[in-house]
Every structure is written in structure tokens, then in C-alpha cells.
Amino acid sequence: MIIVMCPEATKTERNMVIDKLTKLGLKVHLSEGASRTIIGVIGDKQLISELPIEAMDGVEKMVSVTADYKLVNRQFKQEDTVVNVGGVLIGGSNLVVMAGPCAVESREQILLSAEIVKKAGAHFLRGGAYKPRTSPYAFQGLEERGLEMLAEAREKTGLKIVTEVVDVETVPVVSAYADMLQIGSRNMQNFQLLKTVGKTNKPVLLKRGLSATINEWLNAAEYIMSEGNYNVVLCERGIRTYEEYTRNTLDLSAVAAVKNISHLPIIVDPSHGTGRWKLVGPMARAGIATGADGLMIEVHPNPAEALSDGKQSLTPENFMITMEEVKKIAQVMGKRLP
């Protein structure tokens, strides 16, 4: 249930509504927009609907939110959310690019990658130190040593670091190094992990599960936000379909849909979304044209030698070209690269 306050409602009137709700043991989430305040109420639906809230001073109306997700819902917050990651703003009129190799492979490889993506105009360095691999025999990542290398790359370039956290146990160590925690596709419904990152104050990049519906994805975001961490950015990275030419089917309609349903920023990952480097540029451009707030792109100094996802990684030259193209589409969409 959401309570919409009148534009002219005073703070005292707002607080009286909040007091009434909290005294009944209901959970309250406040959203102060530019034009009005919205109070989200979570708890016994029957009890809430019977309260004479609409009779209270300053209240415009009470609306029932039928979707399972509340805090994520645009009904709850009309303005686009802008997530601040150490001074880099994701959402609104900004277009943010996260780029780098699939995995941190060595100190030299990640430092060189950082230099390359920085030069091309990226804002974040990506790279997995803990890798969720399909095969247990494939390269599993450098773990904490990899995190140290990412931190060194940040120091040298000023890029922000986004890296994946694969389980509850490693949330503290990954949080100690990363600017943003990535929840990978395979963990999108690891509810314990979602709740744990929800208890931190680190911004979270929540990738769509490989077979998740938009509804399930938004509920996953709700898990994080319901623990108090409102700094969530969604990432469309393709879903599994019958198509085999591409690794996944990049669902750009989900970007448009999410923009309607939710106020959260959303970025597009055309690398995992296609699995083929030749398709990355075109789908990056398409993602921006759909209204995405940014991109996540795999770039490797030498894709042919990559320990993971070389086939979908751009060379430094191709990343440079893609960035130039992306800037043009961004301009058309009224977005700018900060």
C-alpha cells in the first residue's frame, strides 16, 4: 500500500501518518520526491486498508500496489533513481560504461585493461575475482589477490571497481575492495545473498537471471531494498531461449518494460547477451537507443588469450570504435557520458 501526501503537506502531517503506522507495527519507507512525498507501507494488507488514513491531514490518497514488489515500483517513487557510486552517478541523464575483462587473470592484464578502458572513456573497471563457471575445471578466479589487483588499478586510473560476489561468506572481503557489488545471473535468486548485500551500504549491480522473468528479477531487487539498501542498478544480460547462434537472447524489451514499471536505473550487457564480439557494438547501440542508463562490456587486451569469455570480448581497438558509436546514440537520447 502507498500513501500519497498532498504537495502542500507539512512535515508534521507526514510524521503523524508515519507515527500512526509504525505504532501498529507496520514497516514504513519514505520517498521524498521533488513534488510530493510518498509513504510506502508494508505489512498486514487488511489492517492497512481499514485504517482511516485518507481522513488524516495532508494525505491525498492511499493506493494499493498489486505487484509483489513495492520499493522497486514506480508507483512508489515516480522520479528516476540515480545511484551514486563514489561520485559517479548512474541513472538520470548520465550514461555510464563499465568495461574490462571477464576475469582478473594477472596484475599486468588488469592494469593494462584498466588503462585501455579508461582511455576509451569508461567509468568503471569490471573483472571477476570470483568466477561462477559452468565447469568446475574452468578457471575459477584469483579471489582476494584479484581484488587487490583491481584496487591497484583503481588507484592508478581513478576508475570505479565493479566485481562479482558469489556467496554470503565473501561479501565482507569483496565489499572491502569494490565500489559496487555485482550479483551475477546465476545468483539472482540466491535470496540469502540478496539479503546479505541488502544489509551493506554498497551499491549493487543486479544482473538478470538467465531464465528469470521480469517479475522475478524485480522481486530480487526488492529483496535487496527491503533490507535497507536502496542503491540498486539492474543489468539486462540476456535470457536463455531456443536460439543457439547467440549465447543468450538479449531482451531489450525488458529495458523498456523496466523503465515503465520501476524507477531503478538499468544497464545493458551486450557481451553476455550475445556471446559474440561482432554483435556487441550493434547491441550496445541498440541498448542505449532503448533507454538504458549504461553498458557493461567485456574488453580484453588480447581476447584470443583470455582465460574466459574471449569470444565475446572486444579488442582495445574495437572497444574504442564502440565507444565512439555509443556517444553518438547517447546524444540522440539526451544522455551524456559523465
Q: Which of 184, 198, 287, 316 binds ligand PEP (CB under 6 A)?
A: 184
**Minimum CB separation from Mn ion for residue 296, in Å?**
10
Query: What does the CA dihedral 6, 7, 13, 17 come to, rounded to 10 degrees?
Result: 50
- The answer to whether residue 105 forms part of the interface with Mn ion (CB under 5 A) is no
Counted residue by residue, the chain has a size of: 338
- The answer to whether residue 272 forms part of the interface with ligand PEP (CB under 6 A) is yes
- The answer to whether residue 299 forms part of the interface with ligand PEP (CB under 6 A) is no
Compute the Cα dihedral for 229, 232, 237, 242 and give only its sign. Answer: positive
Q: Which stretch binds ligand PEP (CB under 6 A): 53-61, 72-80, 184-192, 315-323?
A: 184-192
CB 239 within 8 A of CB 268: no
* 290: CB partners within 8 A, 6+ apart: 252, 255, 256, 268
Q: Which is nearer to ligand PEP, 2 or 129 (CB)?
A: 129
Q: Which stretch binds Mn ion (CB under 5 A): 68-76, 132-140, 252-260, 309-317?
A: 309-317
Which of Mn ion, ligand PEP, none binds 237 (CB below 5-8 Å, type-dependent)?
A: ligand PEP
**Minimum CB separation from Mn ion for residue 308, in Å?**
6
Where would I find the H helices in the chain? 11-23, 45-50, 107-120, 144-157, 171-177, 191-198, 214-226, 252-261, 270-274, 277-290, 316-332
Q: Which stretch binds ligand PEP (CB under 6 A): 26-34, 39-47, 134-142, 181-189?
A: 181-189
Q: Which stretch binds ligand PEP (CB under 6 A): 5-13, 178-186, 219-227, 323-331?
A: 178-186
Task: Annotate 27-54 with DSSP letters as a single string.
Answer: EEEEEE-SS-EEEEEES-HHHHHHS-GG
CB 123 within 8 A of CB 138: no
- The answer to whether residue 205 forms part of the interface with Mn ion (CB under 5 A) is no
Q: Which of 105, 179, 236, 309 binds Mn ion (CB under 5 A)?
A: 309
By CB under 5 A, name the binding residues for Mn ion: 102, 309
